[in-house]
Structure 1
Amino acid sequence: MALEAFHPSEPLTLGVELELQLVNTHDYDLAPYADDMLRLMGKHELPGSVVPEITSSMIEISTGVCRSPRQVKEELGQIRDALVRSADKLNIAVVGGGTHPFQQWHERRIYDKPRFKEISALYGYLSKQFTIFGQHVHVGCPDADSALLMLHRMSRYIPHFIALSASSPFVQGHDTAFDSARLNSVYAFPLSGRAPFVLRWNEFGQFFEKMTRTGVVNSMKDFYWDIRPKPEFGTIEIRVFDTPLTIERAAALAAYVQALAAWFLADAPFMPAEDDYLVYNYNRFQACRFGLDAIYVDPSSGEHLALREHLLKTLEQVGRHAQSPGAESALKLLRESVLQGQNDARWLREVQGREQFLAEVSRQASLRFRIDSQPEASAAA
């Protein structure tokens, strides 16, 4: 099977997807209300889309094609407001976060859609354990070779994305000691991890044809890579973010991706190499385990430094490329959270430390999702 042609898109445009939790409001466990939510959301005229996800206590929202972080925030905000109104009618709540704190995977129901049924038949219990919640960010690329070059440049910053978005410290009622435990579930799938190191679209097409000949792969959707090209959209899709607790932070993360991409296109600051991936899994693990307190190994020099230090340095480097509306304030929000050592995983742990009750953690997270976030250092209810 041949790989479809790459359809160039306007460089630096953004598209954002968020997978969200549907919980009841008596014990704040996941609730199978996707069909009811989709029915109510179908009555609203909204940008982007609202679609089901693999289990029936999940829902995915997405923006249209956006040119700025401000537009991302506005579109996500419109959808969020409609979600909240619809959820209120059903006496349920919508929550961000990369994992639900105490749901039991065996209680989940696979959503009645052919692709989800196929995944369930292939992967067994892993499909129900895939009741995890991520943010995907698409960034537009001018051509296919530029997309692959950007993909491999962006891979150096995977630890940044993980640490900034980490919001999955609890799994099945336990503190995992990870800031982002969600990605451990993704890694269980055989076609997860990193994309192959090729820099020409014709070479990537040859790889794709070999994979489809094995019968293991039928489409690009079968790759669960941390970053993958999306030829039909003319983008690369970054998939390592946990779903943040607020729309504001989701837009800020998209702003960071856009600023990095603008830096790459304008300055070509380095040429990626296969050897960059020697430290890839180590850096990825550090960010998942320790969040903003992780150690980062520079792929070029081998230098070990605090991830926070590398993040702050990079935010300064890309600052002059953050020219689109809303970008400057979005990067400021991220910079302040790095300086304070504050991400959503820390906020969730602070609430649990205070309340000693994971249902209350989920309830407070649902309240936080309803409105633009308070200052990131706050753990107030």
Structure 2
Amino acid sequence: MSRSHDFTIGVEEEYQLVDAATGALRSRARYVISGDWAGELKPEMQEHTIEVGTGVWRGSHGVRGDLARLRFMAAVAAEAEGMRIVAAGAHPFSPAGGHPFSDGPVYQELREKYRALADEQAIFGMHVHVGVPSGTDRARLCNVVRLHLPVLLALTASSPFWDGRDTGHASYRSVVWRRWPRSGAPPRFAGMAEYDALVRWMVESGSIDGPGRLYWELRPHHGYPTVEVRVTDCTPRLDDAITAAALARAIVAGAAEGLLPDTPLPESFVQPLLSENGWRASRHGTSAEMADLESAEPRTITAGEWAERLAERLEGVAAALGDAAELARLPELLRRGCAAEAIRARAEQVGNGAALALWLADETVAGAGMDRRLRPRLEETV
């Protein structure tokens, strides 16, 4: 039976910095970080991004409290510099390229190695770390968890616009990210020994300088005893972020306990079908139709139906982990659809990118103690 201290959870989010007046993407991270009195805001590769990370928690309610606090802190530090923060997979109109890189040799090395890929890295994700019991083979665990990555992407897709145009995708961030080497879903491993052998081979052959350069959407983390889920967009609604994180945790726990079956398909089928499912999730979000990897015969299932199937199977696991209330929000998320749908609807209403970006900034801090939409209501009562 799942126990909360066996399957801990922590979350990292990457926030856009946008001008408080124009909504444009701005490279002011070093100044925003310097105003962080708690030292919890971190730089990323480029100066338009700041990153936060929660503590390690035994329940998603702890992650909720931490993320609300961190969004509040980041927003306050940003506003002191005339900036706002946005939790979304991509900026709606600012060009991706031409932004300065953060100081530090590692970022300069990445810029030199990856050139245009690094220059255009204006994408923003959420990573979920799930701790697993000691002795668990994390590479073998990933063999099952990876099957559900497209569903997690579909639930968090929040990047329909790129460089001022509607891409037709729900998550264009994931499309941009998959241009990088060693991205997408991981392959099947016989176990951690095989995984470690691959890392050694790639390091000694000069492909990578360490396991942190494996950019898969799921991996055994090289520094922590966790499985790291890296597939999701950073998403504006705090509730949606927590629901997706809680589901990721339940998937890892359910896979570890044998409640989620491995696919009956050969690996020669699984890898291309996983890639196809990921593309469909990026294109259509929660309405995507995907190949059902539990079926031995060709069969499709929508991302929403897949998520509902997971919620039903993992209800007991989530309850044992203390995450029942967080997972109970999944039907509401599916009813509304992923954030990309709300972003498109808002874009039609406001008609310009600046208003859309500042609306996203409002959405980001809703529930974190800085909800600007409360101001008119409060003023009416004075």
TM-score (normalizing by structure 2): 0.90
CA distance in 1, matches of 2:177, 2:87: 18
Structure 1 position 341, deviation (Å): 4.4
Match of 2:371 in 1: none
The answer for unaligned runs of 5 or more in structure 2 is 369-375, 377-382
CA distance in 1, matches of 2:152, 2:110: 27
The superposition leaves residues 333-366 of structure 1 with CA deviations (integer Å, 9 ceiling, x where unpaired) of 222221x242110110010011111111111110
Match of 2:360 in 1: 365
Which of 191, 194, 199 lines up with 1:200 in the alignment? 191
Match of 1:130 in 2: 121
Note closer, same or farther for the CA distance 1:326–1:101 as it changes in structure 2 (3 Å cut). farther
Conserved 8 A contact 2:187-2:271: no
Which of 324, 336, 343 lines up with 2:338 in the alignment? 343
Matches within 5 A, 1:300-315: 300-301=294-295, 302-315=298-311
Match of 1:297 in 2: 291
Segments ≥4 residues shifted beyond 6 Å = none
Matches within 5 A, 1:1-381: 11-41=6-36, 43-44=37-38, 49-143=40-134, 145-272=136-263, 274=267, 275-301=269-295, 302-323=298-319, 327-338=323-334, 340-372=335-367
Q: Report the secondary structure of 2:286's partner residue.
A: helix
Number of residue pairs matched by the alignment: 361
1:259 corresponds to which letter in structure 2? A
CA distance in 2, matches of 1:10, 1:234: 13
Structure 1 position 106, deviation (Å): 2.7
Conserved 8 A contact 1:286-1:295: yes
CA distance in 2, matches of 1:215, 1:106: 28
Note closer, same or farther for the CA distance 1:204–1:372 as it changes in structure 2 (3 Å cut). same
CA distance in 1, matches of 2:135, 2:146: 17
Structure 1 position 267, deviation (Å): 3.4
Q: Report the secondary structure of 1:193's partner residue.
A: coil
Q: Which moved more, 1:10-19 or 1:69-78?
A: 10-19
Q: Report the secondary structure of 2:80's partner residue.
A: helix
Conserved 8 A contact 2:17-2:86: yes
CA distance in 2, matches of 1:265, 1:12: 10
Conserved 8 A contact 1:54-1:131: no
The superposition leaves residues 169-215 of structure 1 with CA deviations (integer Å, 9 ceiling, x where unpaired) of 00000000000000111111122123231131111111111111210
Note closer, same or farther for the CA distance 1:323–1:153 as it changes in structure 2 (3 Å cut). same
1:285 corresponds to which letter in structure 2? W
Match of 1:5 in 2: none
1:23 corresponds to which letter in structure 2? V
CA distance in 1, matches of 2:74, 2:203: 38
Note closer, same or farther for the CA distance 1:316–1:224 as it changes in structure 2 (3 Å cut). same
Structure 1 position 17, deviation (Å): 0.4
CA distance in 2, matches of 1:159, 1:73: 23
Q: Report the secondary structure of 2:319's partner residue.
A: coil
Structure 1 position 268, deviation (Å): 4.0
1:288 corresponds to which letter in structure 2? S
2:275 corresponds to which letter in structure 1? N
The superposition leaves residues 109-144 of structure 1 with CA deviations (integer Å, 9 ceiling, x where unpaired) of 111121111010011121121111000001112246
Structure 1 position 27, deviation (Å): 0.9
Match of 1:377 in 2: none
Match of 2:372 in 1: none
The answer for unaligned runs of 5 or more in structure 1 is 1-8, 374-380
CA distance in 2, matches of 1:195, 1:93: 35
Conserved 8 A contact 2:259-2:313: no
Conserved 8 A contact 2:8-2:58: yes
Structure 1 position 11, deviation (Å): 2.7
TM-score (normalizing by structure 1): 0.90
The superposition leaves residues 57-97 of structure 1 with CA deviations (integer Å, 9 ceiling, x where unpaired) of 10000011111110000111111111122222222101110
RMSD of aligned Cα (Å): 1.9
CA distance in 1, matches of 2:115, 2:299: 42
CA distance in 2, matches of 1:306, 1:270: 18
CA distance in 2, matches of 1:253, 1:201: 26
CA distance in 2, matches of 1:202, 1:325: 29
What percentage of aligned pairs have identical amino acids?
26
Conserved 8 A contact 2:185-2:275: no
CA distance in 2, matches of 1:359, 1:58: 18
